[in-house]
Structure 1
Amino acid sequence: MSTAPPTIPLGSIPQSIRSVAHYVKLANEHADRDIVVYYWCLFKAVEDAMATDSSSPEAKNFLTVAMNILEQLKKANKDNDAIWLDVVAQSHIEDQAQRLFTYANSQDDSGQFNQKMMKAFYTCGYLFDVLSMFGALDENIQSARKYSKWRATYIFGCLKRGEQPISGKLMAGKDGDDSNELNALSAEFNASANISSGPPASKYPTDFSSHSPQPYAGGGATQQHYSPKPGLQPIVGPFHQQPRDDFNTYNNLPGGQQGQQPPTKPSPAQRGQQQQFQKPSPQQTPQPGIGQNSPTPSYQPAAPDLKLEDYLEAKKYTKFASSALDYEDPKTAIDFLLKAVAVLQKKDGGGLL
């Protein structure tokens, strides 16, 4: 799209559904720089608002405006897979959340306690909430979500009181679940937003190219307290999804208007399911023909009848290979790259995990 989509003033959100202001604000902030994050944050706001209050005139008016915007976005972005396909959207949003999380942690470790890093923790915490629309969050992402919100509220409280925050890596086992503090932080961010016109200026950096993801500590049991730097894992899910039909007629809106209603959530079989990234065991047999002394395989062209789902599947495998390289795991990277090649050549070595 050549122009940014319309934003919804935070002041127009009724008190009965005020809890969705987090997602509306995130949507507004991404309106002119990431249409996918904008769309799904607003979608999350509509979904939560529908579950909270879909009957009052004020809530209906908000829903009418928001759902009309979503419908217009879908029509204007028919070729954007991250708006039409859950698995692509899920991967995109997780990537944005992980970049923010990595940036905030690096600032935390270096003692750079400021508004930017606090906002980064706050934002990625709510982006993890948006991910919950695509299915149950795995243990690592749940831990990262809780940790992000805790760090945001803890640093907010320290800065507000004029105290020097303590780095998260020195506070393992501390329980900082303070919903009142989080609400106060949200209120301050919302009050600083421009609620009369376009999206507010970004309060956190958008260039994270110099902050590569750190190796994950690996899986772990569900924790009762926060632990520093919970790991985020790549998402593995079905790729043969049909485009979503998100909008059905919703007739109970004020003034006889017909708006659009978000659908009920698809079944788990339709959603991308999150699984932990597993490193191969030492006994894993390497792929035949791949080794230090193996000759370079001859080139074979791609299959002539590739479909959209084939490209999506191959792209997903290459992303997993890139993640494996971040963890310095060449065997897994090679395995995923071979799977991507097999998909593009229509060989039996491809297929879903």
Structure 2
Amino acid sequence: MAPPSLPALPSNLKSIQHYLKIAMDYETRDPPISYWCRLHALQTGLNIKKDKEDLSFLLSLMDWLEKTKQEMKVHETVSDEIVAQAHMENVAVKLFNWADTEDRHKHYNKNVVKAFYSAGMLFDVCAVFGELNEDVAQQKKYAKWRAAHLHNCLNSGEEPSEPAPKPDDQVINDSDNLEYGFSSDVKPAEPAGHSYAHDVVRPSINVQPKPVTPPSSVPTYVQESSSVLVTPEQIVQAQKHCKYASSALTYEDVPTAIDNLQKALRVLQAGQQS
């Protein structure tokens, strides 16, 4: 996908510049993310435009989006909004987790600030799929706050405050550093217990909590009765969990995939019991 050839950004639209910048960052790394960032920039810009110059810029961006959507319609992460939302949240979560792990090892640097900030902006972009879930909204708020706090501390030389207390952790593999082009000055020592990284921030799903010790394999659901009472809303919710699981497997994140498949199963079982 070729980047758009746009006129200079009007001053009235400066607030969408950050989304356009992140879109450029993902241009070759993950083109669907780039597409959704620009779509969010367009939607935001349409709400704040004031004059013809603003409209001209936004129409140019709109033309690019329409053309690109046709070119990328074979990609589910563009053509299917459920898959796209799962993909967007997974990317934001993974970036947030990397930053959080570095933060908790006291590796304070510009890369960590950038990762927190970019994660917050990607959570922002999730609004293209509808109103943000409360969990995602909180994740976004924390990521942006932590980015600003670390940035100010780096500039002033002050010691940053401790990160917000979180549940158990798992250590993030160093391959995540390479994927995002970030590196630490000092390699973190692997903690004796678990770390917060993968368990605390997940794609937003409002369902029953994850069991403490998940089984090693996904249970198979055998339909025991031909009269299964499942509402259309429950079917949609189960489909969403399955899409999240599929997106998680893209990153070889098996625990998240199992977690979401189990949640889809519980939604369907609850429907049967109703």
Q: Which amino acid aligns with 1:46?
A: L
- Match for 1:278 among 199, 209, 228? 209
The alignment's TM-score, normalised by the length of structure 1, stands at 0.54
Contact 2:82/2:243, CA 8 A, preserved across alignment:
no
Counterparts of residues 193-212 of structure 1 (less than 5 Å): 205-206=179-180
Counterparts of residues 265-344 of structure 1 (less than 5 Å): 275-276=206-207, 278-279=209-210, 315-316=242-243, 318-319=245-246, 326=255, 335=262
- Match for 2:88 among 90, 93, 116? 93
Q: Distance in 2 between matches of 1:289 and 1:57?
A: 58
Relative distance call for 1:129 and 1:321 in structure 2 (3 A) is closer
Counterparts of residues 27-106 of structure 1 (less than 5 Å): 27-53=23-49, 56-106=51-101
SS at match of 1:33: coil
- Match for 1:6 among 3, 6, 10? 3
Shift of 1:215: 2.1
Shift of 1:5: 1.9
Q: Which amino acid aligns with 2:243?
A: K
1:56-105 CA distance string (max 9 Å, x none): 12112211221111112112112111112211110010000000110010
SS at match of 1:214: helix
The residue aligned with 1:257 is none
The residue aligned with 1:228 is none
The residue aligned with 2:155 is 160
1:236-255 CA distance string (max 9 Å, x none): xxxxxxxxxxxxxxxxxxxx
Q: Distance in 2 between matches of 1:133 and 1:91?
A: 12
Contact 1:77/1:83, CA 8 A, preserved across alignment:
yes
Relative distance call for 1:120 and 1:335 in structure 2 (3 A) is closer
Q: Higher relative contact order at CA 8 Å, sep ≥6: structure 1 or structure 2?
A: 1
The residue aligned with 1:268 is none
1:142-173 CA distance string (max 9 Å, x none): 111110000100111111112232331479xx
Q: Which amino acid aligns with 2:180?
A: T
Shift of 1:212: 9.1
Question: After TM superposition, where is structure 1 displaced by more than 6 Å over at least 4 residues in a row?
Answer: 286-290, 320-325
Q: Distance in 1 between matches of 2:247 and 2:29?
A: 25
Contact 1:20/1:49, CA 8 A, preserved across alignment:
yes
State the number of aligned residues.
Answer: 228
Contact 2:133/2:204, CA 8 A, preserved across alignment:
no
Relative distance call for 1:150 and 1:16 in structure 2 (3 A) is same
Relative distance call for 1:34 and 1:289 in structure 2 (3 A) is closer
Percent identity (aligned):
29
Q: Which amino acid aligns with 1:163?
A: E
SS at match of 1:12: coil
Shift of 1:214: 2.7
Task: Name the structure with the higher helix share.
Answer: 2
Structural RMSD (CA): 4.2
Contact 2:242/2:261, CA 8 A, preserved across alignment:
no
Q: Distance in 1 between matches of 2:138 and 2:3?
A: 34
Contact 1:128/1:141, CA 8 A, preserved across alignment:
yes
The residue aligned with 1:304 is none
The residue aligned with 1:260 is none
Is the counterpart of residue 123 in structure 1 residue 118 in structure 2?
A: yes
1:111-157 CA distance string (max 9 Å, x none): 01111110000001011111122122222211111100001001111
The alignment's TM-score, normalised by the length of structure 2, stands at 0.68
Q: Distance in 2 between matches of 1:6 and 1:40?
A: 13
Contact 2:241/2:260, CA 8 A, preserved across alignment:
no
Contact 1:26/1:41, CA 8 A, preserved across alignment:
yes
Contact 1:118/1:156, CA 8 A, preserved across alignment:
yes
Contact 2:208/2:263, CA 8 A, preserved across alignment:
no
- Match for 2:199 among 212, 215, 221? 215
Q: Extract unaligned runs of 5+ from structure 2.
A: 167-176, 183-194, 223-235
Contact 1:5/1:32, CA 8 A, preserved across alignment:
no
Q: Extract unaligned runs of 5+ from structure 1.
A: 172-202, 217-230, 236-274, 291-308, 340-347
